[in-house]
């Protein structure tokens, strides 16, 4: 019995990746909005998903909003990616994370070197 691995054509892979990235940021901003309402934060920068410079303190409400929205987004997107790609979910999840780090570096004009930001991504 031979091991059969089906490789998707490049066009399908890129299309699925685009859908996953759009889904990721849609969920991120939706969860961010809900967290802002729950934590009563009424002023948050549009660049919030890319902000790694916020002071990591449990007394800082903005930090709590960013942390909770990041964790909830990754959890929800992990489940939603299954509906989009049906297989190779880890590959798409890691690819979206790499794209997110790249976009974060471009938006903030520096590479994120803060340990709390990487810890939030790693959870």
Q: What is the C-alpha separation between 36 and 17, in angstroms, rounded?
A: 28
Tens digits of residue pLDDT in 88-114: 788 888 999 999 999 999 998 999 888
List pLDDT tens digits, range 6-63.
666 888 888 989 999 999 999 999 999 999 999 998 887 788 888 888 888 889 888 8
Domain spans, the chain: 11-41+54-122
Q: How far apart are CA 113 and CA 80, in angstroms?
A: 29
pTM: 0.85
Write out the DSSP string of the chain. Answer: -----PPPPHHHHHHHHHHHHHHHHHHHHHHHHHHHHHTT-----TTGGG---S---TT-HHHHHHHHHHHHHHHHHHHHHHHHHSS-HHHHHHHHHHHHHHHHHHHHTS----HHHHHHHH-
């Amino acid at each position: 019995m031979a091991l059969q691995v089906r490789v998707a054509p490049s066009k399908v892979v890129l299309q699925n990746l685009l859908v996953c990235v759009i889904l990721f940021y849609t969920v991120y901003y939706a969860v961010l909005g809900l967290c802002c309402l729950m934590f009563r934060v009424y002023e948050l920068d549009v660049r919030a998903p890319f902000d790694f410079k916020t002071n990591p303190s449990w007394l800082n409400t903005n930090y709590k909003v960013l942390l909770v929205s990041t964790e909830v987004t990754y959890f929800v997107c992990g489940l939603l990616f299954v509906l989009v790609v049906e297989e190779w979910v880890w590959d798409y999840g890691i690819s979206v994370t790499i794209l997110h780090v790249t976009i974060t570096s471009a938006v903030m004009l520096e590479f994120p070197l803060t340990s709390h930001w990487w810890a939030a991504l790693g959870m």
